[in-house]
Structure 1
Amino acid sequence: MPKKQGVCVAVFAKHGARVSQTIWSDVADLLIANQFKVLVCDSVLPKSKKNDNLRCQKYTFASIEQIRSNADYAVITGGDGTFLGIARDLAESEIPLIGINQGRLGFLTDIRLDDIDPTLIETLRGDSVKESRQYLHGQILRNGEPMAEHIALNDIVISRGIVGGMVDLKVEVDGRLMYNLRADGLILSTPTGSTAYALSADGPILHPSLAGIVIVPVAPHALTNRPIALPASSNIEITVTGGKQTGVHFDMQINDRVRVGDQIRIQVAPKPIHLLHPPRYDYFAMLRQKLHWSASPTELASRTRGLRDSGHHA
């Protein structure tokens, strides 16, 4: 990683952050004090001022397009939901992302608030764990014509509507029928998303270095429908054959409605996301902390009692 002066770092704030909020500005101050150029995403500004190219004291506010063109790194303050949204915004820019946990669990935002200085600077100056992770690309087609397409870092979920009943899906992989499914929904997850919704639906945890797609049925009508892991090269096509108000959700942040007869085509996106973890990052230690592995019920209760966010504590 570069150690020279003039490296540009973009700072992103938690959703709904205000200009008066101190966390992102504290991060920007720390970066400036260490000779980094800083761009603050203009999402922290009121909508009426986003196009004014404002400069506030030491901070230059920039649009996502300007950040894609000029930033060498992106520092994201917020929770995993904030991280997911910004990761999609920066997709294909290949800007390495660093997360500062301002949320709850923090599977992706792994620098604690009480450890920003010096951990963030150490990470940016090369004492870091580098990692690449895959996205999913999903396309919705109606009568053979593309209707929408989005990407997801965690998962793409097809689910039933609020009026009740199940969704009926025909699932094909590389042109071959895998099964016809009747269920509450279907999760298609990356290894990153295998610790999210897929895990709660009894899917397996995939180490992020694995290249693959996990398919996890949600409350299937046939109890023999089980999760399956597919190669990253798989082309998956899902046809909606029944159900009312069926939805397709990308990281549970972008939602589209589909009809009977619509198809959803899903494959791994060609470019990965690049993450920078702190120098002491350990994936299994993270799982032990976030999922409370190796803890007895008594230890678990004592560790979490009274804590607003146990993800901020070792």
Structure 2
Amino acid sequence: MAKRPGKCIAVFAKHGSSHKQASWRTVVDLLIAHGYTVLVCDDILTARTRNKAEAQAVGYSFASLDTILKKAHKAVIIGGDGTFLGNARKLAKADIPLIGVNQGRLGFLTDIRLDDIDPTLISTLKGEYTSEDRYFLQGQIMRDGVTVADQIALNDVVISRGIVGGMVELRVEVNGTFMYDLRADGLIIATATGSTAYALSADGPILHPSTGGILIVPVAPHALTNRPIVLPQNCSIDVTVIGGKQTGVHFDMQINDRAVVGDHIRIVVNPKPIQLLHPNRYDYFAMLRQKLHWSASLTEVGHRPRGLRDSGHAK
């Protein structure tokens, strides 16, 4: 089939994936068969597999992230939510829509099943999709007036106690106004996207992606009256470390920095969203029903064969 002009698709998979691995090769072969130019991000390669993988590439090319940012029109990310989060951060500055193919467990962000890429992935690439903007958090750690870390997170920024035990002590301000002093195992600042991640396990509410708010959830607070709160998207959150040992600051639980007493952590919503493309039949509530076992009887939870009910969101 002739190449589709202007249709360059970038493919991302988990680092260390074999060049023979069926999952991403199946996606690549399908894209090639439909006439797309395919660039596979070379981040999946290890030093040991690089030369052999590049030599065996037929019909596609391995490319650096810089090349992909310049040439790709859409990106297909294959894996679980962790793989999606990591690659979404890499593509945050580009205007490249993202499509997730689920090879993980839950798959809140990767909503096309691997066994349904033909025809769902192709029809999505051809324009049969629902578009959705998701926003990143921008987090800065400042020490003595100097920025020592500056990262983004699609799910959440988590400030937590160190491995030596004890609680972390934090002062929280919103738009410069004092909110509270907190003693807890940690504090989660999450986007609507991240409301179904760590924040959910800490009894935070689920935010529909269109709400665009910021969620603050204490983790095992010493004062049981410290409750989750949803704030407007345009506010700034300032957290000062006032006590605790080896305090960690985690971005999507993938990038980890240390904070010391006196450090100041400022968190805002990055104004540039990233675009997610869902298949036309995607249904957010069907996704929640399936992933969280809503409407299921107690005997069904954990025993339902995959795909038999409420799988329409992934087709």
**TM interval, short-chain normalised:** over 0.9
CA distance in 2, matches of 1:26, 1:292: 30
Segments of 4+ moved more than 3 angstroms: 3-6, 48-55, 309-314
In the other structure, the counterpart of 1:200 is 201
Q: How many residues align?
A: 309
Partners of 2:51 and 2:239 in 1: CA distance: 41
Aligned counterparts, 1:1-314, within 5 A: 5-47=5-47, 54=54, 56-303=57-304
Please tell me the residue identity of whatever aligns with 1:107. F
Identity %, equivalent residues:
66
Pair 1:207–1:23, CA change in 2 (3 A): same
1:56-85, CA deviations, whole angstroms, 9 ceiling, x for partnerless residues? 221111011111111000001100000000
Q: CA deviation at 1:313?
A: 6.2
Query: In the superposition, relative to structure 1, how do residues 166 and 139 fare at CA in structure 2: closer, same or farther (>3 Å)?
Result: same
8 Å CA contact retained: 1:105, 1:311: no
CA distance in 2, matches of 1:312, 1:285: 6
Task: Provide structure 2 residue ranges, at least 5 long, that are not aligned to the other structure.
Answer: none
Cα distance change on mapping 1:141 and 1:51 into 2, 3 Å: farther
**What's the RMSD between the two structures over aligned residues?**
2.2
Does the CA contact (< 8 Å) of 2:7 and 2:37 recur in 1? yes
Query: Distance in 1 between the 2:308 and 2:12 partners?
Result: 23
Q: Cα deviation per residue 1:20-67 (whole Å; 9 max; x = unaligned)?
A: 112111111111111111101112323367699946221111011111
- Give the TM-score, by structure 2 length: 0.93
* Aligned mates of 2:110, 2:172 — CA distance in 1: 34
Structure 1: runs of 5+ lacking an equivalent: none
Structure 1 Cα separation of the partners of residues 75 and 309 of structure 2: 21
Residue type at the aligned position of 2:123: E
